[in-house]
Amino acid sequence: MVPKDNARESALAVLSRVEQGGFADPLLEQARTRFDQRDSSFILELVNGVLRHRRHLDWILDQFSPQPLSRTDVRTRNILRLGAYQMLFLDRVPVSAAVNTAVELAKTHGGKSGYVNGLLRNLDRRRSTIVDPPSKDIVKRLSILHSHPAWLVRRWVARFGAERTEALLRENNVPSPLVIRTNTLRTTRDKLRASLESEGAAASETAYSAEGLRVQSSPGLRSLTAYQKGWFMVQDEAAQLIGIMTAPRPGEAVLDVGAAPGGKATHLAELMGNIGTITALEIDPGRIGKIRENCERLGTSIIKPVTGDATAYGEGTYDRILIDAPCSGLGVLRRHPDGRWHKGEDTIRERADLQRRILANCAGLLKPGGVLVYATCTTEPEENEAVIDDFIARSPEFFLADPRPHLPAPAVRLVDGRGFFRTFPEESALDGFFGARLVKKT
């Protein structure tokens, strides 16, 4: 195994790449493969922790630095953030270890070990003097304290008010739960839970999905017998409810748009009893292999992965279509904290235009009497109800249907008066999802 000291070095490399435009998930997946379970978890904690609190950390560090943090190089900046995060947020890491490892990193990367040593030791001595941002500018204050971009805070304050927005921002900085979906083709939730617990994992039933388990701890999911047998798939409970809301039936022809890595497609196959056909449409050819890999592990044989552009795809007609629309991803920022630093308001406008084109094209592939479910993992109305309202206005052959009869009883409350399913901000324990169930008239 790689020595433990290299865990912080790997975290530094990922953080620096993210700040230069990289995406954390693939970088973390690559970086963590060389480490044992303990160090792998530590890297994940460091990277996601710094990304969740980056702006607040910068605000604090600037109070003890002779120059703004923004003027130093990207490596030194992230070495300081790593050190400060461990000192201020991780009780289990001694201050001396946080400072000393940061200094050692600075000797190798950037050569500013004296600056790093002095700043972090000054922070430790004078942490009681840390000043919060002024309260007169509520957007700036919330943006700094909870490390979210000001443009997003401004939008949420206008929609939800300052108090509710602060609660949402705070919840967004809590690590997301690990939720898995039972593969009902091979086992039951009770048997899956018993298998997990027999190998040292702890899990509890999810509140809404009858197929979900929330995993509190495990020795590593991929090492578990249940994983190797294909008894489960990692999938948030909100995403599970989207599949359930689609309500496919055995023998139907289904189109899953935006299918990689196969979470929703395999769920649909399970709901269909593995009888029928599912076309898993994905625009990125590099991700097709992931769909096949998950289908093989879970034993779902009715899924056909296809590479194609959903704005122009025209093969076949379908009884059910599930559009997992490409979106700004603002509903999953707690799961992908780097997203808050990569996106702007222009992202919302760009995605909304793409979503309209995908919906208009794919709707033409639906059979009369068929069902189309449009879903996103974003929080913003322009990508959600505005897209549906525009589509309905242009497509008189479609109507918005009530999804409640198809959802588990506890999830009925997540549907509003118009028939839109949403988990944000109604249910903070779930990822932020939106769903609409459209039916084509016969």
Q: Residue 189 corresponds to which tokens in the numbers above?
A: 């939730």
Q: Which stretch of DSSP H or E encloses residue 124?
A: helix 113-125
Identify whether 327 is a catalytic site residue: no
| Adjacent-strand bridge partners of 281 | 257, 306
| Adjacent-strand bridge partners of 255 | 279, 321
DSSP secondary-structure letter at 19?
A: H
197 contact partners, CB below 8 Å, separation of at least 6: 203
137 contact partners, CB below 8 Å, separation of at least 6: none
Q: Which stretch of DSSP H or E encloses residue 196?
A: helix 189-198
What 3-state class would DSSP assign to 137? coil
CA 196/CA 200 separation, integer angstroms: 7
Q: Which stretch of DSSP H or E encloses residue 422?
A: strand 421-422
Name the amino acid, one letter, at 42: F
Cβ atoms of 363 and 411 closer than 8 Å: no
Question: What is the Cβ-side half-sphere exposure of residue 357, based on CA atoms within 13 angstroms?
Answer: 13
Closest by CA position to 355, among listed 388, 322, 397, 329: 388
CA 162/CA 157 separation, integer angstroms: 5
Q: Residue 76 corresponds to which tokens in the numbers above?
A: 């030194």
128 contact partners, CB below 8 Å, separation of at least 6: none
Closest by CA position to 14, among listed 31, 37, 35: 31
Asked if residue 425 has a cis previous peptide bond (ω within 30° of 0), the answer is yes
Closest by CA position to 254, among listed 332, 320, 178: 320
Active-site residue among 295, 327, 362, 377? 377
Q: How many helices (H) and strands (E) does the chain have?
A: 18, 12
CA 122/CA 395 separation, integer angstroms: 64
CA 371/CA 185 separation, integer angstroms: 24
Cβ atoms of 323 and 372 closer than 8 Å: yes
265 contact partners, CB below 8 Å, separation of at least 6: 256, 259, 278, 280, 291, 295, 300, 303
What residue has token string 């760009």?
Answer: 350
Which amino acids are annotated catalytic?
A: 377
